[in-house]
Amino acid sequence: MSAAACTTAPAPPPFKPIADTKVLMQSVVDPNADVVWDSVKTIITAAGTEEIRPRTEEEWTIVRNSAITLAESGNLMMMVPRAKDGGEWMARAKEFIDASESAIRAAEAKSADRLFDSGGAIYEACSRCHQQYVDAIVKANQ
Ligand code: HEC
């Protein structure tokens, strides 16, 4: 192997970004977060209390798949042209990936309690990034 072959970095993957951050949020992040959040809840009516949670293999798989989509969408947030900076943005996206990964593990373990907690962690990760970056956009436009 020549020295040049050893030092030449491989060409970057020919990514073809389709969705900007806003469209990614609308089409991928928001709908899949809803699947996770709606999967475990308690509905209280005059008729009584209903505990919603995944019960069948198929229902657990649907939640797991949405959690995987969320986790990987965190990687999409880190990529050009969506990443807003190389520091805080990456940290917020990483927190989001970690929270989504915990939802994947909860679904694999078929634990409704852990899935509920992971849903809360996902919500916090959404909020932390929005507080830092979306509120800034809104303020800048005022
Ligand atoms: C790493 C940062 C980050 C994370 C994590 C994140 N978002 Fe966002 N989100 C943004 C930014 C930035 C925008 C503003 C995009 C724009 O308008 O250009 C946005 C916008 C949105 C919008 C508004 C789109 C519109 O119609 O204007 C929704 C809805 C949304 N996010 C949902 C979510 C949900 C739900 C989660 C968590 C499950 C989440 N986001 C996690 C950064 C993030």
CB distance 135 to ligand 1 below 6 Å: no
The C-alpha atoms of residue 81 and residue 19 are separated, in whole angstroms, by 9
Give per-residue pLDDT as tens, 43-75.
999 999 999 999 999 999 999 999 999 999 999
Q: Is the pLDDT of residue 40 over 80?
A: yes
Residue 7's pLDDT is: 73
Sign of the four-CA dihedral 77, 81, 85, 87: positive
The C-alpha atoms of residue 84 and residue 98 are separated, in whole angstroms, by 19
Residue 5's pLDDT is: 55
- Compute CA distances 18 → 23, 69, 79, whole Å: 9, 16, 12
Which of these ranges, 88-92, 109-113, 133-137, has the smallest mean pLDDT? 133-137
Give the distance (Å) from ligand 1 centre to CA of residue 26: 8
Nearest CA to ligand 1 atom 27: 22
Provide the token pair at 45.
Answer: 């009516």
Nearest CA to ligand 1 atom 10: 130
- Read off the pLDDT of each residue in 111-133 and give the average, rounded to a whole number: 97
CB distance 22 to ligand 1 below 6 Å: yes
Count of CB atoms within 10 A of residue 40's CB?
21
User: In degrees to the nearest 10, what's the CA dihedral of 35, 87, 22, 70?
Assistant: -20
The C-alpha atoms of residue 69 and residue 63 are separated, in whole angstroms, by 10
Q: Tell me the residue type at 55.
A: R
